[in-house]
A and B are shown apart, each in its own frame.
Chain A
Amino acid sequence: MISFTRREKNWVPYLLFLPVLIYLSGFIGYPLVKTLQLIFSSEEGKLGLENFITLTRDSTFWKALKNTLLFLITIVPLQVILAFLLALFVNSRFKGYMTVLYIISIPLALSDVSAALMSYNIFTSHGFLNKFLMSLGIIETPIYFFGLGLRSRAFWVIVLTELWRATPLVFVILLASLQMISKDYFEAADVFGFSSWQKFFYITLPLTMPSLQSALLIRTLFAFQIFGVVWLLSGRDIPILAGEVYYQQAELNNFRLAATYGFIIALICIIISWVYITFLKTKHLEI
């Protein structure tokens, strides 16, 4: 057994911590500092808020912010409700529930690009849906679900694709939480004559609140990263914040504005996380 002197004991923990510190400083700290430098400096090298001024004067920024928030407030609540319903359904453990569980979980294995390509092949004018509807004689000519001047339709196709692709993540978290609730609570509730609704509101919902909070947090943060699906199904027709980061960096070579977009995304995520953590703090942490 290795024994340390009192003096050694003081610096050994720091020595053990050093490799991680070097790694984090090199691969996270340094790029972060350089990014901050980019954000707060102009092309001429002057320090200031010039990039923020440029950004807020560009109408695309406001459109991107609006669209990102619209996707957020549409997709996240729908996903949470849908995932909760599916989790309750699977948790009832009917015959064959495991098969249903697997089917619901399939999209977890898909990347956003794969999901978007599948969606494209379903909804495009020559896609499966149009062909199916035409073969049944329901429509004569294809329906255009997305494309030039069809932003609102494209919006809903993107929402649908995101619901299908990302709901399983929330579902898995909520199902795990439901499975951890002790049956004793429900047996006690039966003794007191609780209705199904009362059991849900007074037992299930409070006890799943910590998981719900995590699921909401993860989904909200992911919603700010939404990119592949929007990019493939609408291009820049529906500008979004993450898409503009890519566009500024890869297409326009404007690293400053790309970094500023990224900074704004991070800022919004921090604020939303703080709101969730503060206002959704549960009083029933024991399960």
Chain B
Amino acid sequence: MLKKFIVILVLGLLLSSATYAGEALNFTSTQMVPAAEQTFAKGVLLKGFTDESGVTAEFIPMEYHELFTRLSAEVEAKKVTISLVCDLHGGLDLMSAKGLFDDLTGITLPNRTFIKALEDYSVIAGKKVYVPWMQATYVMVVNKKAFDYLPAGLTVEDITGASEKWSYDALLSWSKNLNDAFKGPKLGFPMGPKGLWHRFLHGYIYPSYTGYQAAKFDSIYALALWKYLGDLLPYMHPSSSVWEAMDEPLLKEEILIAWDHTARVKNAVVEKPGDFAIVPVPRGPKGRGYITVAVGLSIPVGAPQKDDAIKLIDYLTRPEVQVKILENVGFFPTTKEAGGVIPEGPLNVLATGVLAQSGAADSVMVLIPSLGAKGGEFGATYRDTFTKIVIEGADIGATVTEAAEKLKKLFDEVGVSLL
């Protein structure tokens, strides 16, 4: 009797686990890995999907190399257990190059207008590799007092709407006006050792002037860029060299205009949402260069429950879900519709600026190059060039030629083509 009972029990358990395994949709992600973020992903994000669709989704956080190894093995063995993958653009691009993902062309997600630049990036070599899900970026923060000192011909709407008039030259004139009015520089950058100043140089001003981050490092356009930075120097707050995040200097009103990562200015906006505006960065001769940290959703080749995976993509990219993500983990939405449903307050101030920047018609979106351990050296080359040319007055031509060679060598060593 006891034997029979055990056999039935074991069979029952096996059957139920098989049924469960059959139903569960495996969603692997290299993002939302920290414990608190996992709790949100499992307990709020996916629970909402399960409640609505009846499909159980399993959130499986893992590192990139782990995901790559597992997915490669599963695809090769034609026994894929992962239905949906979330990773950064760079990782998805690499995995797609190995033939691990389905082409998502033809998937329709109603009432969603993805930001054009992100949408364009998600199509790699003619294949729709991922659906843009989340983004993070760097922005300009303006204390509203500074709007009273705009140069002639430039309006607040020009700045917030990223019009052609909102250029680096306009920023120079504006900074000069502020300097004259307040008897001191009011423009600040995070140039401290741990600050992200190099991101501004390679990801913002370089693409704006040359169209590229490194490929045209010593071009004629780059010479104009370095001359421009020399002209801007008198209006940069001297303490910039020790600032690592711009929230404090903004709150203390040591500066009225700053550039930094959204996470590093969030405190200022959260503390005094009425005082600050997040605006798109200015444009240069080649457009409005900006960095985005793009996160996408891909479906592996031969994935089980593909229809449910599409349902999950549809759910995760809904405006209200994207807002929930912004509130909980600080990643910004990728759809224009999401901007309309963010409640009034600091997050709205931040998101409006981020969406205006990425939605600008002349935007030149760039991604941080995947250089691994050489990433530090990459940033240091830009910083050192700035110090030599702008602070120490070294010859522009000779300095950029030397730095360009260094950058080329660096990209060659890693085996990545110059961006």
Alpha-carbon distance A144/B237, docked complex (angstroms): 9
Interface string of B113-133 (1 = CB under 8 A from A): 000000000000000000000
Q: Is the CB of B191 within 8 A of A235?
A: yes
Q: Is the CB of A251 within 8 A of B241?
A: no
Q: Is the CB of B237 within 8 A of A251?
A: no
Contacts of A234 in B (CB 8 A): 241-242
Q: Is the CB of B380 within 8 A of A237?
A: no
Contacts of A253 in B (CB 8 A): 373, 376
Q: In this complex, what residue of B is CB-closest to A151?
A: B391
Q: Is the CB of A235 within 8 A of B376?
A: no
Nearest Cβ in chain A — how far from B382, in angstroms?
13
Task: Scan residues 87-141 of chain A and give those whose CB is less than 8 A from a CB of chain B.
Answer: 120, 124-126, 140-141
Q: Is the CB of B376 within 8 A of A147?
A: no
Q: Is A156 an interface residue (CB 8 A)?
A: no
Q: Is A231 an interface residue (CB 8 A)?
A: yes
Give the residue of A140, A148, A236 whose beta carbon is less than 8 angstroms from that of B238: A148
Q: Is the CB of A126 within 8 A of B238?
A: no
Q: Is the CB of A252 within 8 A of B377?
A: yes
Task: Scan residues 49-72 of chain B and give those whose CB is less than 8 A from a CB of chain A.
Answer: none
Taking beta carbons and an 8 Å cutoff, which residues of B are in contact with A? 183-184, 191-193, 233, 236-242, 252-254, 373, 376-377, 379-380, 383-384, 387, 391
Nearest Cβ in chain B — how far from A189, in angstroms?
52
Contacts of B379 in A (CB 8 A): 251
Q: Is the CB of A251 within 8 A of B236?
A: no
Task: Scan residues 232-250 of chain A and give those whose CB is less than 8 A from a CB of chain B.
Answer: 232-237, 247
- Known A142-B184, A252-B376: A235·B237 in contact at CB below 8 Å: no
Contacts of A60 in B (CB 8 A): 384
Alpha-carbon distance A147/B242, docked complex (angstroms): 7
- Known A147-B239, A148-B233, A235-B191: A126·B252 in contact at CB below 8 Å: yes
Alpha-carbon distance A236/B240, docked complex (angstroms): 12
**28 A/B residue pairs, CB under 8 Å, sorted by A:** A120-B242, A124-B239, A126-B252, A126-B253, A140-B183, A142-B184, A144-B239, A146-B238, A147-B238, A147-B239, A147-B241, A147-B242, A148-B191, A148-B233, A148-B236, A148-B237, A148-B238, A148-B241, A149-B238, A149-B391, A231-B193, A233-B242, A236-B193, A236-B383, A236-B387, A237-B387, A251-B380, A252-B376
By Cβ-Cβ distance, the 10 closest A-B pairs, closest first, are: A147-B238, A252-B376, A141-B183, A144-B238, A253-B373, A148-B238, A147-B239, A251-B376, A235-B241, A148-B241
- Known A120-B242, A125-B184, A126-B254: A148·B391 in contact at CB below 8 Å: yes
Q: Is the CB of B240 within 8 A of A251?
A: no
Q: In this complex, what residue of A is CB-closest to B374?
A: A253
Task: Scan residues 185-238 of chain A and give those whose CB is less than 8 A from a CB of chain B.
Answer: 231-237
- Known A126-B252, A126-B254, A148-B191: A141·B241 in contact at CB below 8 Å: no
Q: Is the CB of A237 within 8 A of B241?
A: yes
Contacts of A150 in B (CB 8 A): 238
Q: Is the CB of B377 within 8 A of A254?
A: yes
Contacts of A149 in B (CB 8 A): 233, 238, 391
Nearest Cβ in chain A — how far from B401, in angstroms?
16
- Known A125-B184, A236-B193: A147·B237 in contact at CB below 8 Å: yes
Contacts of B373 in A (CB 8 A): 253
Alpha-carbon distance A234/B237, docked complex (angstroms): 13
Nearest Cβ in chain A — how far from B186, in angstroms?
11
Give the residue of B191, B238, B387 whose beta carbon is less than 8 angstroms from that of A125: B238
Contacts of B192 in A (CB 8 A): 235
Q: Is the CB of B193 within 8 A of A235?
A: yes
Contacts of A120 in B (CB 8 A): 242
Alpha-carbon distance A172/B409, docked complex (angstroms): 53
